[in-house]
Amino acid sequence: MKSIYKLTILLFLMPFAMVHGQKTNNVYTDSLSLSQILNEVIHNYPAIKKAQTDIESSDAKIGLAKTAYLPNIDATGSYTLLGPTTSLSMPGLGTFQLFPPDMYSAALNVSESIYDFGKTEKNITFAKQSKELVGLSVDQLKQKLSGMMVGNFYSIVFLQEAIKIKNEELATLNEHLQFVQKKVATGSATNYEVLTTKVRISAIENQKTDLVNALEVQLSQLNSFLGKPQETKLTVKKELLSPQILASNDSLFTFAFDHRSEMKIEHQKSVLADTHMKMINIQNNPSLNFFGTGGYKNGYFNAKLQDAGSLNYAVGVSLKVPLFDANRTKFNKIQAQTDIQGNVQETELTRRSIVNEVVESKANAESALKKVNQSELQLEQSQEAYSLAKTNFEAGAITNLDLLDSSTSVSESKLVLLKTKIDYSVSLLKLKIALGEQIY
């Protein structure tokens, strides 16, 4: 029986990857629901916060792309000491210095793009689309984190309830031990029956110890997700989902393709690849720019202005027309086209993966529901069998070992029923995640 018990625990824990309420000395007196846990984890988990900072970075990239519409303004100043200075002598007119020994200037410079034939517009569009991709990645991370929390939550539910079942089994065995000891005192039973009962109690105690240890591990993981101290004592609510009618596979596939973040991400990648191709196609377009500078400087070849200095300015426009870029555009186009084709294949792989996840989750849910019905019948039969065994034992028709086996069968049936109900709840939630529904 102990091997069956261990197998039950192992089979239940294998599929899983890994607050609110009054708090006193790191003990939460209120049980946490799945929605409470998900909301707290989604809002406070470091990986989510880090992903959200990427969105802020994307906003900065959009603003950086828009700066191309704004002018560049700077101020310059200089001082130069010349020596020796150049002079020019003209008969009858005297000697003139071409440049003064002290030269200084100060100027304000302005430059701005007048028209770049769509290059800035495409850069801004690409930055905005990149931000949308980051947002979709955050949603995908939340969904994956939700799936992990579902496994952790229902592991704790199973272990909590399993410990209660073992406590009930121990209470029944202890009650039976007292009954057998009374029969030994009257001579109607042997010490062998007492020993077999004590051995069974010891085995159940060991099983309970394993459950308590496994529960501590799962609670440690939950505290880590919630950011609570490891010594915090938490309990979770027993939330089991009711049977639901599931739609046909085709309907589920269509819904998943429209709502899964993975499909949205692949679509956004395709949009980005197309925009990137458009950016490459126009990168050799001409650009028309304005420039202007104005300030104050000396050094003019003029007797009045040479030393005193004068206001000056220069304004104009420039046109830049690329003629040859060493084939960079050609090879960038080839690379961009390859990315577009790769995105098509990635989208198809994602579609197939989603189909597999939906089919698997639906099949697991349907199978678990059948097991729930069978387990309910099994529990009912085992309880009836135990009631009859108890009556027959008191009448002396069966041995003590037969009664203990019947009692253990009831406990095992309760564990199996609990596991099948939890399996069904987990399968339904995983189906919702596979369909792209938000469970957080």
Residue 69 lies in a domain: yes
Task: Please check the confidence at residue 186 and state whether its pLDDT lies above 90.
Answer: no
pLDDT at position 398: 86
What number of H helices and E strands is found in the chain? 10, 8
Res 174 pLDDT > 80: yes
Q: How confident is the model at residue 128 (pLDDT cuts 50, 70, 90)?
A: very high
> How confident is the prediction for the chain on average, in pLDDT?
88
Parallel, antiparallel, or unpaired for β 287-297 and 102-115?
A: antiparallel
- Dist. CA 158–CA 240, nearest whole Å: 11
Q: Which residues contact 6 (CB under 8 A, 6 or more apart)?
A: 210
Residue 65 pLDDT level (bands cut at 50, 70, 90):
very high
Contact 214, 158 (CB under 8 A): no
The domain containing residue 343 runs over which residues?
Answer: 2-82+112-286+321-435
Q: CA-CA distance, 18 to 45, in Å (whole number)?
A: 15
Alpha helices in 227-327 (DSSP H): 249-259, 261-282, 305-308
Residue 228 CA: distances (Å) to CA of 38, 194, 214, 254: 14, 46, 19, 40
Residue 304, pLDDT score = 59
Domain-embedded: residue 342:
yes
pLDDT exceeds cutoff 60 at 67: yes
Which range has the worst mean pLDDT, 9-18, 127-136, 222-231, 371-380?
9-18
- Over residues 181-203, mean pLDDT: 88
Radius of gyration of the chain (CA): 40
C-alpha dist (Å) from residue 36 to 24, 28, 197, 396, 429: 19, 13, 43, 53, 16
pLDDT of residue 28: 53
- State how many domains the chain has: 1
- The verdict on residue 106 lying in a domain is no
Q: Are strands 94-97 and 23-24 parallel, antiparallel or unpaired?
A: unpaired
Considering the chain, what percentage of its residues have pLDDT values greater than 70?
Answer: 91
Mean pLDDT of 39-65: 92
Q: Which of 290, 272, 282, 277 is nearest to 325 (CA)?
A: 282
* Residues whose CB falls within 8 Å of the CB of residue 132, separated by 6 or more in sequence, listed in order: 268
What local confidence, expressed as pLDDT, does residue 18 receive? 39
Q: Do the domain assignments include residue 55?
A: yes
Residue 310 lies inside a defined structural domain of this protein: no
Confidence (pLDDT) at 84? 81
Taking the C-alpha atoms of residue 252 and residue 353, their distance in angstroms, rounded to an integer, is 14
What's residue 303's pLDDT? 53
At residue 202, the pLDDT reads 95
Look at residue 182 in the predicted model and tell me its pLDDT: 87
* Residue 429: per-residue pLDDT: 96
Per-residue model confidence (pLDDT) at position 26: 53
Report the pLDDT value the prediction gives residue 302, as an integer from 0 to 100.
64
CATH code of residue 123:
1.20.1600.10
185 lies in a domain? yes
pLDDT digits (tens, 9 = 90+) for 18-44: 333 444 445 455 689 999 999 999 988
Residue 130's pLDDT is 95
Task: Answer yes or no: is 43 within a domain.
Answer: yes
At residue 77, does pLDDT exceed 90?
yes
Q: Which residues have C-beta within 8 Å of that of residue 192, sequence separation ≥ 6? A: 400
Give the distance, in angstroms, between the CA of residue 121 and the centroid of all CA atoms in the same chain: 32
Averaged pLDDT, 222-230: 92
Is residue 258 assigned to a domain? Answer: yes
